[in-house]
Structure 1
Amino acid sequence: MLFNSVQFLVFFAAVFVVYWHLPRRGQNLFLLAASYLFYGAWNWKFLGLILTTTVADYAAALIIANNPHRPMRRRVALASALAVNLGILGFFKYYNFFVEDVVGLVQLLGMDYLAPVLPIVLPVGISFYTFQSMSYTLDTWHGRLKPTPRFTDYALFVSFFPQLVAGPIERAPHLLGQIERPRAPRREQMGEGLLLLCLGLFKKVAVADHLGQFVDTALGQQTGWKLLIALYFFSFQIYCDFSGYSDIARGAARLLGFDLRTNFNRPYFARSLTEFWRRWHISLSTWFRDYVYTPLGGRHAPGYWPYANLMIVFLLSGLWHGAAFTFLIWGALHGGLLAAEKALAGWRKGHHEPPHGLNPRNLVAVFVTFHVVTAAWVFFRAPDLPFALDVFARLAAPADRPLAGLMPLAHGLGGLALLLLWEGFEDGWRRWLANPWRALPAACAVLLFTLLWGKLNGGQFIYFQF
C-alpha cells in the first residue's frame, strides 16, 4: 500500500475517522490492527517475521529488566534477541549476496563448489523495523529505559504504520511514551499534520517521480554535461523521494496525535560532510552513532581509532542499505572522506569558523559538499560496479545525444523550483503557517497542485528496497 496511492488515502481517512471516536486503549488496539493490515497488504506472510521480532525483543527486555543481579541471564536474553533480529535480517537481506561471494572465492581457489541460491523476497521495511526494535532491547540493557508491561503497546511501537516501512527509525522513550499516554485532537496539530502530509506527497509526486523518469533514461544513454545534469537531478530525486516519505509519515502521525522525529533538515545546504550527516536520514545516522560508534569508543578512542570507527560505521551503513559492493563503496567513500574531514578539522583546531549565512566561504563549502555527495550517489544508484565506472567514463565524453524525456524533466524542474522556494525560506513559512486557519487551506492548495502536476499510484519509494 503505497503512500502515493488512492488506496492509502482512503485507508488513512477511514483509520482517522474511526480512531478519534475510540478511548485510548481502543485507539492503540485499533492502530495495531490497522498497522498489521497495512503491512499485510504487501505480503501477509511477512507478518510472522515482524511478530517474531516483536516477541523476541519484548521478552528479552523484560528478562533484562527483571534480573538486575543475574548477569548471565541478562546476557543470554540480550544475545538471543540480537541473534533473532540479526539472523532474520541477515538471512533475508544478505544470504544470497554472501553465498555468491563464497562460491566465487572457492572457484578462484580452483575448487568446484556450488552453493544453493534461494529465491528470497526481501520483506519491505525489514531494515527499519529491525533497528527500531533492537534499540528497545539495547536501551533496556544500558538502563536508559524501563520496558513497557503491555505487549500490545510495544507491538504498536514496532509496527506503527506511518513510519513502519521507511522510517524515521524511532526510539522507545520518544514514541512508546506517546503510545502509553492519552491523546486528544488539537486544531494546530491537525493543520500541521495535513500540511506535512501534503508537502510530502508534493515532493514525491510532483518532483521525485518526474525527475526519476528523466534520470532513468539519461543515466543509461547520456554523456558529458547532459549526463552530469542527470546526476544532479538524481541527487534531488532521492532527496525528494525519501524526505517526501518521511514528511508523509510525520504528517499522518501528527493527524493521529503523535510526533515523529525529524528525519531531514535541508541536507543540501550543508557546508561539510559532517554537517550533511547531521541533516540527512537523521534517525539512521544517530542510531549508528549511539549503538555502534559510541560503544566502539567514538571520537574519544585512542590514536587513530576514531577514524577507524568512522569507517566501520559507514561500511555498516552501506551494507545496511543493500547487499552489493556498490553500497559498500558508497559507505567507504563517506567514511573515508569524513575521517579526512575530521583529521583536517583537528589540524585546524582554533581557527575561526565563518558564521552561517550567505557569505562566499559558506557558498563554496555548500557547493563542494553537494558535488562530493552527488559523486558518491553514482555508486548508490548503480546496479553494479561496472555501471558506476561506466557513468564516470561517460562524463568525460562529449555530449552527443539529444535529451530524452523533456516533458517529465520540465514538470520536475517546475516542482523543484517551488520546493527550493519553500526550503530557502522554510523558517519564515512555518512561522506564518503556525496558525491552523492558514495551514489548512495551504495544505489543500498544495494537495490540489500535486494532483494536477503529477499522478498518484506512481512509482515506489526508493528506500522501500532497504
Structure 2
Amino acid sequence: MLFSSITFIYYFLPIALGLYLITPKKYRNLVLLITSLIFYFSGEPIYTLLLVFSSISDYFHSLYIEKHRGTKYAKRALVSSIIINLLALAFFKYIDFFIVLLNSFSGLKLALLNVPLPIGISFFTFQTMSYTIDVYRGDVKAEKSIIGLATFVCLFPQLIAGPIVRYTDIATELQSRVLSWDQTAIGVKRFIIGLSKKVLLANSFGQLCVIFREVPDKSVVFYWMYGIAFTLQIYFDFSGYSDMAIGMGKMLGFNFPENFNYPYISKSITEFWRRWHITLSRWFRDYVYIPMGGNRVSKWSWVRNILTVWLLTGFWHGAAWNFILWGGYFGVLLILEKVFLGKILTRVGRWIPHMYVMLLVTISFVIFNADNLNQAFSDLSGMFLATGEYHQELPIFNSVTLYYLKSYFILFVIAGIAATPLPKIIYTKLLERLFILEPIMVLILLSINTASLVSGSFNPFLYFRF
C-alpha cells in the first residue's frame, strides 16, 4: 500500500488514526502495532511473518544481553542477533547475487532462486540491529514489553522506506507520548507537502525517465535531460516519502529524525552526504565506521575504513554491481575531498563547488538507476558523447529532444527552485502576514494531489526496490 494512494490517504490512514485516538493511552501501542501489521500485510502477506519473527528474535536477544551485560554471554547474544538479521537480509536480498558469483568463479550452474524481496527489509533490519547493539553498549535499556518493541519495529509510517529510526530516537515516546492539535496540524501539513513532492514532481520526472528508455532517437542533450530528471525524481520521491513518514509520526505523537536537508545546495560531496539520507549515513558512521576505528587510525587504515563503509552503503541499496560501483564512487570522492580537494573547493567561489556537486551527483544517479553495469556505461557514454561500443554517431541535439525539452522545461525550473530553501523562506514570510493562507494552501495541494491520483497517473515508489 503506497502512501501516495487513494486507499491509504482516504481509507487506511483516517481509520488507523481514528482508532488510535479513541483508544486509551495504555493500549495505543497495541492498536498501532495491529494497524502497522495490517498495513504491511496488505502488501506482503507472507513476509509479515518475517517482520514478526524479527521483532520476537530481537526482543529476547536484547533481554538476554541486558541480563548478562558485561559478560561473554552478552557478546554471544549480540553476535547471534546480528547474524540472524544479516542472514535474513542476505537470503532475501542477495542470494541470487551470490549464486551468480559462485557460478562465475566455480563453473557451476546453480539455478537462481528468484526469491521475492520483502518490502522494507533493508530498513527494518538496520533498525533492529541498531537496537540490540545499543542495548549491548548500554546506550539504552532493553524494552520489557514485547508489544512496545514490536511497535517500534513495525511502526507503519517509517516501516518500508525510513527514515531509519533508532530505538533511542523514540524510546521515551514509546512509553508516553503527548498528542496535540498543534502537532497534528504540523504533521498533516508535512504529510501533504511530502505527498506533493511525490505525486506532482517525482512522478512527473519518473514519466520522463520511462519515455527516455522507450524513445529510440536519443541525443547527448536527451541523455543529460534523463540524468537530471532522475536526480530530481529520486530526491522528491524519497524526501517526499520521508516528509510523509515524519508527518504521520507527529500525528501519532512521535518525533522522527530528519532525513533530508536540501542536499542539492551542497558545495561538496562531504556536505551532500550530511544532507542526503541523513539517517543512513549516521547508521553507517555509528555502527560501522567508528567501530572500525574511524579516522583515528593510520592513513591507509582510514582509507580502507571509508571505502569499506561506502562499498557497503552501495551494496545495501541493491544486489547489483552498479550499486557497488556507486558506493565506491562516493567513497573515492570523499577521500579526495578530505585529502586535498575540499581545500580547493573552499577557495574557488560559490558557484563552482555547487556545479561540481551537481555534476558528480547526477553522474552517480545515472549509475544508480541503471539495470546493470552495461546500461550504466551506455548512459554515461551517451552523456559524454562517447562512441564505439555503446553508441554510433549520437547527435548532440535533435527534434525529439526539442519536443521533450519544451514539454518539461517549466517542470525542471519549478523542481530546481523547489529543491532549495527559497520556497520555504517565501512561504514563511507570507504566513507572517496572511496566517489564513496555510490551511487554504494545504487544502489546495491535497485537492490537486487527489485529482492526479484519481486520474490514475504514473505512481511508483523507487525505494521499494531496496
TM-score, normalising length from structure 1? 0.91
The answer (yes or no) to whether the contact 1:207–1:413 under 8 Å persists in 2 is: no
Residue 133 in 1 paired to residue 133 in 2?
no
**Unaligned stretches of 5+ in structure 2?**
386-393
> Which has the higher mean CA deviation after the structures are superposed, 318-327 or 59-68?
59-68
Task: Tell me what 1:388 maps to.
Answer: 376
Q: Secondary structure at the match of 1:45?
A: coil
Give 1:438 shift.
5.0
The answer (yes or no) to whether the contact 1:219–1:230 under 8 Å persists in 2 is: no
Residue 16 in 1 paired to residue 2 in 2?
no
Residue 372 in 1 paired to residue 371 in 2?
no
**2-side partners of 1:156 and 1:338: how far apart?**
37
**2-side partners of 1:304 and 1:433: how far apart?**
53
Task: Tell me what 2:64 maps to.
Answer: 63
Q: Secondary structure at the match of 1:402?
A: helix
Give runs of aligned pairs for residues 270-289 of structure 1, distance below 5 A. Answer: 270-289=266-285
With over 3 angstroms needed to count, the CA separation of the structure-2 counterparts of 1:20 and 1:430, relative to structure 1, is farther
Give per-residue Cα distances to partners, 1:55-98, cap 9 Å, x unaligned.
Answer: 121111111111125x2211221111111100000000010101
Identity over aligned pairs, percent: 33
Give 1:410 shift.
6.0
Give runs of aligned pairs for residues 295-334 of structure 1, distance below 5 A. Answer: 295-334=291-330
Task: Tell me what 1:424 maps to.
Answer: 422
The answer (yes or no) to whether the contact 2:69–2:136 under 8 Å persists in 1 is: no
Task: Tell me what 1:446 maps to.
Answer: 445
The answer (yes or no) to whether the contact 1:28–1:153 under 8 Å persists in 2 is: yes
Task: Tell me what 1:39 maps to.
Answer: 40
Task: Tell me what 1:3 maps to.
Answer: 3
Give 1:274 shift.
0.4
**2-side partners of 1:391 and 1:352: how far apart?**
28
With over 3 angstroms needed to count, the CA separation of the structure-2 counterparts of 1:334 and 1:303, relative to structure 1, is same
**1-side partners of 2:231 and 2:461: how far apart?**
14
Give 1:375 shift.
0.6
**1-side partners of 2:140 and 2:268: how far apart?**
34
The answer (yes or no) to whether the contact 2:203–2:460 under 8 Å persists in 1 is: no
Task: Tell me what 1:165 maps to.
Answer: 160
The answer (yes or no) to whether the contact 1:210–1:408 under 8 Å persists in 2 is: no
Letter of the structure 1 residue corresponding to residue 267 of structure 2: R
**2-side partners of 1:64 and 1:239: how far apart?**
39
**2-side partners of 1:182 and 1:306: how far apart?**
42
Letter of the structure 2 residue corresponding to residue 90 of structure 1: A
Letter of the structure 2 residue corresponding to residue 87 of structure 1: L
Give per-residue Cα distances to partners, 1:373-422, cap 9 Å, x unaligned.
Answer: 101111100001111111122221323451366797367447526625x7
Task: Tell me what 2:460 maps to.
Answer: 460
Q: Which has the higher contact order (CA 8 A, sep 6+)?
A: 1
Give 1:436 shift.
8.0
The equivalent position to 2:234 in structure 1, one of 234, 238, 246, is 238
Task: Tell me what 1:147 maps to.
Answer: 142
The answer (yes or no) to whether the contact 1:213–1:405 under 8 Å persists in 2 is: no
The answer (yes or no) to whether the contact 1:270–1:369 under 8 Å persists in 2 is: yes
> Which has the higher mean CA deviation after the structures are superposed, 422-431 or 275-284?
422-431
Letter of the structure 1 residue corresponding to residue 446 of structure 2: L
Letter of the structure 2 residue corresponding to residue 363 of structure 1: W
TM-score, normalising length from structure 2? 0.91
**2-side partners of 1:304 and 1:289: how far apart?**
18
The equivalent position to 2:334 in structure 1, one of 331, 338, 341, is 338
> Which has the higher mean CA deviation after the structures are superposed, 121-130 or 9-18?
9-18
The answer (yes or no) to whether the contact 2:292–2:305 under 8 Å persists in 1 is: yes
Q: Secondary structure at the match of 1:123?
A: coil
The answer (yes or no) to whether the contact 2:196–2:240 under 8 Å persists in 1 is: yes
**2-side partners of 1:179 and 1:58: how far apart?**
15
The answer (yes or no) to whether the contact 1:378–1:388 under 8 Å persists in 2 is: yes
> Which has the higher mean CA deviation after the structures are superposed, 114-123 or 175-184?
175-184
